[in-house]
Structure 1
Amino acid sequence: MVRIKAETAAEILLELLSLRGIEYFFANAGTDFVAIVEALAKGSEQGKAFPKPVIVPHETPLLGMAYGYYLATGRPQFAMVHVGVGTANGLGMLMAANRAQVPILFSAGRSPVEGEGRFSYVHWGQDLYDQGGIVREQVKWYYELRSPFQLEAVIDRALAMALSEPKGPVYLILPPEVMASPVGEVEVRSEFPYDLPSTSPDLKKIERLAELLLEARFPLLITSSLGRSPEAVEALIELSERAAVAVVTFNPEYMNFPTDHPCHLGFSPDPFLPVADLILVVDCDVPWYPERAKPPSSTVVVQIGTDPLYSRYPARTFPSHLTVQGDPATVLRQLVDLLAEPLEGKEEALRSRRERLARMHEEIFAEYLSCARAASSSLPLDPDWVSYNVKEVLGDEAIVVNEYDNGMKPFMSQLPGHYFCNPHAGYLGWGLGTALGIKLGLPDRTVVATVGDGSYIFSVPSACHSLAAAHKLPILTIVYNNSCWKAVREATRNVYPQGWASRGDCFPLSELYPGRYEKICEAFGGYGERVERPEEVGPALERALRVVQ
């Protein structure tokens, strides 16, 4: 136990966060922060080991910083905004964290109760009947603090909920009256008091899955997020080689499987769904688009994950003939162990399938490479050519945060934890703040954000470049500027392939002004360059890389 002497609850909050391993207090402050501001000032003067305060000038990159820091370190952080308006500004990023199962301790103040605590018109205008209702669908747990003496229990509960599988953000409302309450001396636990729950996979189901793998003629594994665990990537590599399993990384959020592996069959399951007689859906919310392609009814589908049926999704109807709940790394490792013995009578069939997969892999990835190189003289710049050059210049060691459909997937790093792509909530603006959070967590690594111009605008670039300059977080930002929202155009084409917009190549509500985005970076002391010719892409990337390294 630890005794804490404090004038206010705000001091207790900061002490508790520090005791629980919280390193950073990401903040976009308002008038509800006054007791916290005073506590931080006092702590600084007295040399207290409080979490380091980081001012983030907008809520989108604020939550992005917490998101990225978790991706880099595996440690959740505290992010606080101003009452309901700040909460609303951060909602898109909160949706992203929720769908991606990223734990964040998200917090906000609230308007003071009517009386002496109200000294500005906003304290009436910002008051809400149900502030927590803004985030209710996007957090695992939320609570409004009622007493300073609840702080230890509430902070520990928040951490336990955020870190229990499936992980995700939580929301805590901290009323200014409670934060300013006098407390004197309190006694708290020095360590987090919870042993987090774990789910052990059903061994009988894994044994049955091993039998199915040995019986299958063409087993196919589809994943989008298995790469959140480097251990799972290693286990998948071993399983694919041992059982000759084809792997598709569909809409990947991570580097799930090395693109140079002979069992990697690209990024679309469509060509393989008709022939796969066994499909393993591992850490994947959407394994195929039923309106476009789906497996025959005779195909056995197995879903694997900590929440394999995605209980937080309102509608999700992909079949699951065998459901294995558990950490994917553990499940795949147990499968590998079951298949470790010589497989009498199966080795020849497995060898033949491995050879077939290798030929398919070579053909698929040769096409990606051919398309990129064929665009080496295209004007305007082709995104495939740009992404090819990004890989050529960066190699595998740089960490890439990709928020754009830019042909980057075939050229991602082969290393786990070195490629991150936008979460499936689809919130634009995720990339830059997340890249800065990764850089904060891994300051010695080269971090690159590849974004479209629409994504760049949504990221609040002035806030991001200001933050990078203020905290010395040099990242390389590459804006693929096609002066439009490509997703809007492509969706219209898909729904109306012979429609007015497609026939006339005219897509209202999708055009963006072709801005000089490099000037925004320059405004905050950064290096900016505009590249328009294909032969200039590689040298420009090399110059930019020298600046951030």
Structure 2
Amino acid sequence: MPRDDIGAEGMDRPVPIEPGSNRIWGSDAIAEVLRAMEIPFIALNPGASYRGLHDSLVNRLGNAAPHMLLCLHEEHAVALAHGYYKASGTPIAAALHSNVGLMHGSMAIFNAWCDRVPVLVIGATGPVDAARRRPWIDWIHTAQDQGALIRHFVKWDGQPASVPAAQEALLRASQIMRTAPQGPVYVNLDAAMQEAELPEAPPTPAVSRYAPPPPAAPNAELLAEAAAMLSGAKRPVILIGRVGRSTESWAERVALAERLNAGVATDLKTGAVFPTEHPLHIGAPGTFPSGPVLDALREADVVLSLDWVDLGGTLRAAGAESVRVIRVSPDQRIHNGWSFDHQGLPPSDLYFDNEPDPVVQALLAALPAGNAAPAKPQAAPEPTTVEPSEPGAPMTIPDLSAALRGAVGERPVTLIRLPLGWDGALWPFREPMDYLGQDGGGGIGSGPGMAVGAALALRGSGRLPVAILGDGDCMMGLSGLWTAAHYRVPLLVIVSNNRSFFNDEVHQERVARERGRPVENKWVGQAIRDPDPDFATLARGLGLMGIGPVESRDALDAALAEAIAHVEAGGTALVDARVAPGYAPAMTRALTRGSD
């Protein structure tokens, strides 16, 4: 059982500073700005380059508002901040030590960039003034242009040279990261500037005067054209991608689909955005568009895309590039020439450079009410009923899903992450917080850190936080779970353990078939066996409850019941569920397309 119920904010309380000390340091003024910005947490792996700021967070602010969250790797720190935002809509900070910490954290920054998630990344460098550097270590931890390491996948970066400039840089970074399309930012603090003594405390800026702009209203003429096009459509389809997660915006999307009698497609990259059991929902959500979605696009006369990820690629896959398209997305504002995360250039007949939620609201107001026919059921799947595997047969991901659904009963659950082999028909999404989506950049190892951040944000919500992670993803980021154990974060992690980097087995099978070579060799260099990693033992070594390996449905039922009780008591638990390799059919078709 958990050791106590202190909670994250009650952990790591520092000894109070002696009264009467009026000395002020550069990092004190920077820490005060972070507090004024209402940053609740700062996830970090410690380093000497920001030892001044670290001291200020502890001894000036008392390790509160923001509260430090110690992570065992810089990548986990950024991933934690990423997951926290996905569950809460509130950005937090991550601190990375020098150039080496920034290189460690760069994969997680790229994930946040591709996922359009704001993370305030605070970095530091050894003294920019070479005369003030310590021998050796300060030299190798100082870079001429540290932000260049990540400049292609952050919205903005700065290296302020004074305390007032650092205050302004933090305000600018916050404003930019929270303006759509959102994304990570980087502020690099000179170690010497942090540690300089100030004659007096500079005033803390009025943070409210540096807020991001509100979402822009759509153009009235464009809105009228879109309303007319949608009103006249016989077979409209709505593709819902990166949209707001509030219950109000959820309800407005449902109302719009019903008003238009439009088929709705969602996917597993962006989380729960529409009820998957609704009669207008098409097929099951997947990482790639399913056959029913592609069929609906081929038959559509108008497509309304609400910041759908890879609209161009989806239309091409369906052979529907000639369909009339209303595109709603502000995403091109941050496209650059380094990364192709912007995907293919989609055609559009009407293009709103807006966030989707204001456009949905405006369309509801502009469209005639009450003239839609009753909703026609699309190819929406019934929640899959899974019969237990035959005795002695390997468990499958559907077995895992069925066991989890039985174990949670009527509890509200947030699925923080799902493995690539997941079939979207296995679990219905009925509310915005039922599922949080993927990591954006496909950076393996992000799952544990993001799970911890999301679970931290979900405390007190009444929802059971569950992350179902692939074994490769979990192994790469496993030490990220120590942070959950240390800060008493309730979280259930289930390892969907097929003992392979199975995604690459699928690719190797495709190549072997194309070249007429033995597909039986696809496992070589992919299998995570002999020895099998013991996730339960590793989890216990990090302070979690570890259960497994679990290899049968009966054992999984018992393991999940024990783990859920532990999580509901405030603990962190990991269950190692051994499953047979395999993907949902749509995923397999997408990965092997062109291999016949």
- TM-score, L = length of structure 2: 0.82
Q: Displacement, 1:496?
A: 5.5
2:502 equivalent to 1:486: yes
Change (3 A) 1:227 1:453: farther
Instruction: Give 2:281's aligned residue.
Output: 264
| 8 Å contact kept, 2:76–2:450 | yes
Query: Which amino acid letter does the alignment assign opposite residue 156 of structure 2?
Result: W
Instruction: Give 1:337's aligned residue.
Output: 365
2:285 equivalent to 1:237: no
2:74 equivalent to 1:56: no
- What does the per-residue CA deviation read over 1:119-145, in whole Å, with 9 as the maximum and x for residues that have no partner? 353222233332111110110000112
Instruction: Give 2:44's aligned residue.
Output: 27
Query: Which amino acid letter does the alignment assign opposite residue 273 of structure 1?
Result: L
Counterparts of 1:310-329 in structure 2 under 5 Å? 311-312=335-336, 314=340, 315-329=343-357
2:363 equivalent to 1:383: no
Instruction: Give 2:591's aligned residue.
Output: none
Counterparts of 1:18-167 in structure 2 under 5 Å? 18-43=35-60, 50-113=65-128, 117-119=132-134, 121-167=136-182
Query: How many residues are matched?
Result: 528
- What does the per-residue CA deviation read over 1:329-386, in whole Å, with 9 as the maximum and x for residues that have no partner? 221122222234343xxx5xx33xx2342xx32xxx14x615x437576832111221
Instruction: Give 1:299's aligned residue.
Output: 323
| 8 Å contact kept, 2:312–2:344 | no
Which of 254, 263, 267 is 1:250 aligned to?
267
| 8 Å contact kept, 2:44–2:68 | yes
Instruction: Give 1:543's aligned residue.
Output: 562
Instruction: Give 2:231's aligned residue.
Output: 214
Change (3 A) 1:316 1:17: same
Counterpart CA distance in 2 for 1:126 and 1:272 is: 55
Counterparts of 1:499-514 in structure 2 under 5 Å? 499-500=515-516, 503-504=519-520, 506-513=522-529, 514=532
Instruction: Give 2:303's aligned residue.
Output: 279
- What does the per-residue CA deviation read over 1:185-226, in whole Å, with 9 as the maximum and x for residues that have no partner? 312334332242232111222222222222222211122333
- What does the per-residue CA deviation read over 1:66-94, in whole Å, with 9 as the maximum and x for residues that have no partner? 11222233221121111011101111111
Q: Which runs of 5+ in 2 are unaligned?
A: 1-20, 569-596
2:429 equivalent to 1:407: no
Q: Displacement, 1:472?
A: 0.8
Query: Which amino acid letter does the alignment assign opposite residue 320 of structure 2?
Result: P
Instruction: Give 2:25's aligned residue.
Output: 8
Change (3 A) 1:258 1:288: farther
| 8 Å contact kept, 1:213–1:219 | yes
Counterpart CA distance in 2 for 1:208 and 1:356 is: 27
- What does the per-residue CA deviation read over 1:245-301, in whole Å, with 9 as the maximum and x for residues that have no partner? 111113432101111111111232223222122112212121364697233343112
Q: Displacement, 1:497?
A: 4.3
Q: Displacement, 1:111?
A: 2.3
- What does the per-residue CA deviation read over 1:367-421, in whole Å, with 9 as the maximum and x for residues that have no partner? x615x43757683211122123323333461211114113253305411123112
Change (3 A) 1:340 1:259: same
Counterpart CA distance in 2 for 1:412 and 1:356 is: 16
Q: Displacement, 1:149?
A: 2.4
Counterpart CA distance in 2 for 1:49 and 1:342 is: 52
| 8 Å contact kept, 1:220–1:245 | yes
| 8 Å contact kept, 1:308–1:324 | no
Counterpart CA distance in 2 for 1:542 and 1:331 is: 44
Counterpart CA distance in 1 for 2:504 and 2:483 is: 30
Change (3 A) 1:252 1:149: closer
Counterpart CA distance in 1 for 2:459 and 2:239 is: 33
| 8 Å contact kept, 2:44–2:69 | yes
| 8 Å contact kept, 2:47–2:97 | yes
Most deviating of 474-483 and 225-234: 225-234
Counterpart secondary structure, 1:407: coil
Instruction: Give 2:537's aligned residue.
Output: 519
Counterpart secondary structure, 1:109: strand
Change (3 A) 1:320 1:456: same
Counterpart CA distance in 2 for 1:517 and 1:128 is: 38
Change (3 A) 1:412 1:234: same
Counterpart secondary structure, 1:509: coil
Q: Which runs of 5+ in 1 are unaligned?
A: none
